[in-house]
Structure 1
Amino acid sequence: MNIVRFWIKNARFKSLPQSFLPAVLAVCLASKVERFSIWLGLLAIIGVSVGHLGINLFDDYFDYKVKKSDFRDIMVKKGFRARTTKCYYITSKQTTLGQLLIACVVFCAFALLIGLIIWFFRKNFILYLAIITAILGISYSGPPLRLSYHGLGEFVIGIVFGPLLMIGVYYAACGKADPSVFFISIPVGMLVANIVYVHSIMDYEPDKEIGKMTLAVLLKDKRLMLIFVFLLLIISFGCILGGVIAGYLSVYYLFVLFTLPMAVSLLYLMVQFIYYPKKKFSPRFWMGPMGDWQQIKTMDIDWFLIRWFLARNMLSFFCFIIIVVCLFV
C-alpha cells in the first residue's frame, strides 16, 4: 500500500478534481436517462481518474527527459521565480526514471482495462473516444507531437477534460449522447484549461528559457495574457447562459453564477502577478481549500498555489453546483 500511496501522491492527486468532478457530473446528468447504469458510470469515473493520474506521471516523465533535474534550480539562481518542487521525487532519488515509466504504464493499463469492460457493453463509440483521448493525453508532452511545447496544451486539456471526458462518461453511463452535455462540457473544459493556462503564465520565464512554447510564451504580451484569462472565464459562464436561453438547460443552472466572485478574484490575482509579482496574498475562506498554508509558505510556493488552488476550486464549485442542480431539481 505504501508504494501505491507514493505513486498516487506524486501523480499530483490534488489535480484530480479536474477529471473526477466532470466525470461525476456526467454520471449525474446520465442518471435521468432510461438506460442508465450506475455500475458502468462508477467504472467510468474510476477509469477516468486513474487515467488522469497516469497521464500526469507521463507528463513528469517526458518533461524530466527534456529539462533534466536541475533546470528549475538554475532558473532560481538566475533570479527567476520558478517552482523547484515538480519531479522532486525523481530529483531527490526516491525513484528512478525507469520505475516512473513502469508506474505510468501500470496506471494507464488499469484505465485501459476499465475502458475495455465499458466497451464490451457500450460498443465502438466509447472505443473511438478513448483512442482520441489517449493520443491527445500522451501527446500533451510526449513525442513526437509534444503539443504543450507548441502552444496547444490548453486546447488539448480543454478538449480532453471537457467534451471528450464528459460525453464519454455520459455515454458509458447511459448509452446515448445529448446536446445538453455538450453545453455543459464546453465551460467545464474551458475552466480546466484555465487552470493550465494560469499555471503557464506563472511558469512563463522558465518555460521561455528552455524553449517550451506554451500559449503564454506565444502571446508574449502581458496584456494579451490577461485578456485570454478573461475570455476563458467569461465564455465559460456565457456557455451556461446560452444553454439556458436556448432551452437546453434549466434556469437553475444559472446558480453557477455564484462562482463569479472567484473568477473576479482570480483575474485580479493574475493582474497583480503580472504587474506586481512580489506582492503577497493570503487565502480567504470563500476561495476554497488550499491545504497546509503555513507549510506552503515555508516552501515559498504560496505565490503560485494561491492562484492555482483558486482556479481549481472555482472549477470544483462550478461542477458541484451543477451536480446539485442535476440531483435535486
Structure 2
Amino acid sequence: MIVCDMQGTVQKYEADAEALFGWTRQEVLGKMNVGSFHVPRNVPTLVPRLLKEASVNGKFEEEVTLMRKDGSTFQAVLSVYPVIRDGKQVGFMGRTRPLGPPTAIPVGSLWFQALRAPFLIASIIPVLVGALAAWQIRTAFNLPFFLLCFLGAVFIHLGANMANDAWDFRSGNDANVHHLNPFAGGSRVLIRGVLNPRTHLAVALTFLGLGSLIGILLVTQVGWPLLWIGIFGVAVAYSYVGPPLRLAHRGLGEIAVALEFGPVTVLGTYYVLARTFDPAAIVLSISLGLLVAGILWINEVPDIPADSAVGKRTLVVRLGVPRATTVFGGIIGAAYLVLVLGVVLAGLTPWTLLALFALPLAIKPVQGLQKAGADPHALIPSNAGMIMATLATGVLLLVGLAIQAILK
C-alpha cells in the first residue's frame, strides 16, 4: 500500500510496496512522486487521469504497467482511492496486485535514456543552419567537413548531457527532484542503482574526447580560429555543472548554453565550411542561441526546489518564477527581433523571416508559464511547446536559406 498527498508525494510506504518496487522507505518517503512507479510514457497521461478519476468517482481501477527501481516492469491491477480527512480530500491511497513477474532489467534502455538523445535537436538544428548559411552566403560546402561538424557536435552534446547528469547525481540534485516533468530534472538514471556512476562518467568524458578529437582534426584543416571556438565549446559542455567552474551554480549556465548552441555551434560549422565569419551568420547564431536558452530556461522552472537545495543557483532560481517569466518572454521576443534586424542591417536574406511564422508557437510557452507558474506538471505542455517552437523556427530558417540559395 502507498499513500500520497494531493501533489503525489509519497507519505506512506508499506513493506510490501518496498519489496514490490525495490525502493527503500528512506528513498521514497517525502521525496518521491507516485508517478515514479509508472513507466515514463504514462506519466503525462495516465497518472493525471487516474488521480482525477479517483477523486471524482471515489475509485480508479485498471490494469497498468508499473516500473521497479531497477527499470524492470510488470503488469498489475492498480486500485486508487481518495484519502478523506475531516470531510476534505488530502491525498490518495493505492493498492497494487501484480499479475506476473517483472521483466528483465533493461540495462540497454537505461544507457540509451542516459544519453537524453531527444535533446540533440538543440545541436543538430544549429549545425544544419550553419552549413546551409555557408552555402547560401558563400556558396561553400564540403560534405566530409560537414559530416565531421555534425558528428563532433553530437558527441559533445551527448557528453554534456551525461556529464551534467553525473555531477547532478553526485551533488544530491537528483535525490531532490520530486516532480515527474519529463523535460526537467535530467535523466536521473543513476538513482536506479543499475548503471555504475564511474562508468557513466567515463562514457561522458569519452564522448567529449571524441568530439574534441574531431575538432582538432578540423583545426588542422581550416585554421586556428576554430581552435578557440572548440576550446570554449568543450569547456562549457563539461563545466555547465562540472567542477570546478560549475557555471549553472554561479548563475552563468543559461548564458553559457545560449553561446554554446548559438555562436559556437552555428559559427563553428560556418567557419569550417566558409573559412570566415559573416554578419548574417552571426545573426542566425544569436537567434538560435536564444531559442535554445529558452528551452533550458523553461525547463529549469520545475527544478527550482531541487536546484536550490544543493546550491545550484541558476538565473531562474535567483529571479524567482514571476521575474523569470518576464525574462523568458524577453528571450523569446529577442530571438525573432534579431532576425528582423539582421535582414535590415546585416544582409540576412529576407527569406529567413519565414521563421516568424513560428512566433505563435513560441508565444504559447510564455503564456503557459504565466498560467502554470511553478506547477511542474501543468508546465509539461509548455516545455514540449518550446522545443517544438525551436524546431519549427530552425526548419523555417533552413527553408528560407535554401530558397535564397536556389534563387540566386
TM-score when normalising by structure 1 = 0.84
Question: Does the Cα contact within 8 Å between 2:121 and 2:391 map onto a contact in 1?
Answer: yes
Amino acid at match of 1:38: L
Question: Does the Cα contact within 8 Å between 1:20 and 1:45 map onto a contact in 2?
Answer: yes
Q: CA offset at residue 7 of structure 1?
A: 3.6
Higher mean C-alpha displacement, 195-204 vs 304-313: 304-313
Residue identity (%): 23
Partner of 2:203: 103
Partner of 2:395: 320
Question: Does the Cα contact within 8 Å between 1:256 and 1:318 map onto a contact in 2?
Answer: yes
Partner of 2:18: none
Question: Does the Cα contact within 8 Å between 1:226 and 1:270 map onto a contact in 2?
Answer: yes
Q: In angstroms, what is the RMSD of aligned CA positions?
A: 2.1
Q: CA offset at residue 119 of structure 1?
A: 1.4
Partner of 1:256: 355
- Does 2:172 match 1:67? yes
Question: Does the Cα contact within 8 Å between 1:38 and 1:173 map onto a contact in 2?
Answer: no
Alignment of 1:1-329 (within 5 A): 7-32=111-136, 33-67=138-172, 70-72=175-177, 76=178, 81=179, 83=181, 86-220=186-320, 222-274=321-373, 277=375, 303-329=378-404
Greater relative contact order (Cα 8 A, min sep 6): structure 1 or 2? 1
Task: Count residues with an aligned counterpart.
Answer: 296
**Partners of 2:319 and 2:204 in 1: CA distance:** 32
**Partners of 1:105 and 1:322 in 2: CA distance:** 33
**Partners of 1:223 and 1:304 in 2: CA distance:** 14
Q: CA offset at residue 328 of structure 1?
A: 2.1
**Partners of 1:37 and 1:87 in 2: CA distance:** 36
**Partners of 2:258 and 2:192 in 1: CA distance:** 32
Q: Deviations over 1:60-90 (max 9, x none)?
A: 1111111165322xxx4xxxx4659744421
Q: Deviations over 1:159-205 (max 9, x none)?
A: 11111111111111222211111111111101000111101122222
Q: Deviations over 1:187-242 (max 9, x none)?
A: 1101000111101122222222332201111113x331111011001111110011
Structure-2 change in CA distance of 1:6 and 1:178 (3 Å): farther
Report the structure, 1 or 2, having the larger strand content: 2
**Partners of 1:104 and 1:88 in 2: CA distance:** 15
TM-score when normalising by structure 2 = 0.68
Structure-2 change in CA distance of 1:181 and 1:8 (3 Å): farther
Report the 3-state secondary structure (helix = DSSP H, G, I; strand = E; otherwise coil) of the residue aligned with 2:251. Answer: coil
Unaligned ranges ≥5, structure 1: 278-300
Structure-2 change in CA distance of 1:196 and 1:159 (3 Å): same
Structure-2 change in CA distance of 1:127 and 1:66 (3 Å): same
Structure-2 change in CA distance of 1:45 and 1:5 (3 Å): farther
Higher mean C-alpha displacement, 235-244 vs 196-205: 196-205
Report the 3-state secondary structure (helix = DSSP H, G, I; strand = E; otherwise coil) of the residue aligned with 1:213. Answer: coil
Question: Does the Cα contact within 8 Å between 1:122 and 1:175 map onto a contact in 2?
Answer: yes
**Partners of 1:121 and 1:94 in 2: CA distance:** 42
**Partners of 2:108 and 2:277 in 1: CA distance:** 35
**Partners of 2:150 and 2:387 in 1: CA distance:** 18
Partner of 2:51: none
Question: Does the Cα contact within 8 Å between 2:107 and 2:194 map onto a contact in 1?
Answer: no
Q: Which runs of 4+ in 1 moved over 6 A?
A: 2-5
**Partners of 1:144 and 1:16 in 2: CA distance:** 25
Which of the two has higher C-alpha Rg?
2
